[in-house]
């Protein structure tokens, strides 16, 4: 698992920031920008990583409790770039011992 603290440590290790606190602030700024854009329905394209988008889900009844309705809402989708998709595919092969 990678946490925000680990990402900040990576930034300081590669001398992109001389302070762990500044590195965390940079990460927070990027993540807040992504969150704000998604809440406005914008599409985020990070070349070499992937694309985030929000799609509307229609209201529907649950299969467990017919008296409960899930209201219309947004759902976040992520489409990885080809190199990220391949890296995940290769990881699956490594886990299977191939």
The string of pLDDT tens digits covering residues 36-95 is 999 999 999 999 999 999 999 888 887 776 678 888 999 999 999 999 999 888 886 776
Q: Are residues 53 and 29 in the same domain?
A: no
CA 53 – CA 75 distance, rounded (Å): 8
Q: In the chain, how many domains are there?
A: 2
Residues 35 and 49 in one domain: no
- Give the residue among 28, 30, 27, 8 at the shortest CA–CA distance from 19: 8
Model pTM above 0.75: no
- Do 36 and 65 fall within a single domain? no
Owning domain of residue 81: 43-98
Same domain, 35 and 55: no
Same domain as 17, residue 47: no
């Amino acid at each position: 698992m990678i946490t925000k603290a680990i990402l900040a440590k990576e930034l300081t290790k590669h001398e992109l920031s001389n302070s762990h606190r500044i590195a965390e602030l940079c990460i927070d700024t990027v993540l807040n920008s992504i969150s704000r854009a998604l809440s406005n329905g914008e599409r985020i394209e990070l070349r070499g990583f992937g694309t985030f988008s929000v799609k509307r889900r229609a209201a529907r009844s649950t299969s467990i409790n017919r008296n409960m309705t899930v209201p219309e809402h947004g759902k976040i989708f992520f489409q990885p770039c080809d190199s990220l998709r391949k890296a995940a595919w290769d990881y699956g092969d490594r886990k299977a011992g191939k």
